[in-house]
Amino acid sequence: MLCKYRKYYSCAQTGTYSLLCSYQTCLSGWSLVHFSCRRLIPGSVTQPTAKANCQAICGHLALVSSSGELAAVQTFIKSEGLGSRKGVWVDGSDAAQEGVWLTSDGKVMTYIGFTRGQPNGGKNANCMMLFEMEVWDENCNRVDYSYATLCEL
């Protein structure tokens, strides 16, 4: 699939070194959530399938990179009608090196936001997900650990 989409930004200087930017619009079927276009795909899939599903619609697993973004994503998931007892795959894995969490494109994550007691899966749980609106680590491939998907453009 050939993916072509345009991002429209509106930026304002917020300090000496930073710009505050947001999308002005998202493609049909996508929602603006904390400066990024996101799409929740209900259903129960493993993390590799979730990643492939996002790529099939020209996106990637959503990255949560701040506590403010986590709060916005949690609000969005609730607004989409997904119950709090349902898990959602997001971007992040420590499969390459235990304890070093990377994004799908290989960058070290600067914000992780795990809930208290997480990560707790050791080498058996290498993928990041939201469960009960908290950040957890989970087994990526076990079919009985299948969750919804949050994609991002």
Least confident of 57-61, 76-80, 89-93, 120-124: 120-124
Rounded Cα–Cα distance for residues 13 and 120 (Å): 40
Examine residue 101 and state whether it is found in any structural domain, yes or no: yes
The torsion angles phi and psi of 55, rounded to 5 degrees, stand at -65, -35
Residues 123/98, Cβ–Cβ less than 8 Å:
yes
Answer yes or no: is 110 within a domain.
yes
Does residue 17 carry a pLDDT above 90? no
Percent pLDDT > 90 in the chain is 48
Would you say residue 20 lies in a domain?
no
Q: Which structural domain range is residue 146 located in?
A: 30-152
pLDDT for 2: 52
Number of domains in the chain: 1
The answer to whether position 7 is within a domain reads: no
pLDDT surpassing 50 at residue 23 = no
Instruction: Tell me: pLDDT of 122 over 90.
Output: no
126: in domain: yes
User: Quick check: 23 and 31 in contact, CB under 8 A?
Assistant: no
Report how far residue 153's alpha carbon sits from residue 138's, in angstroms, rounded to the nearest whole number. 24
Any idea what the CATH number is for the domain that residue 87 is in?
A: 3.10.100.10
Query: Taking the model in full, what pTM does it have?
Result: 0.83
Question: Does residue 93 contact residue 140 with C-beta atoms inside 8 Å?
Answer: yes
* pLDDT 10s digits, 128-150: 999 877 899 898 888 777 899 99
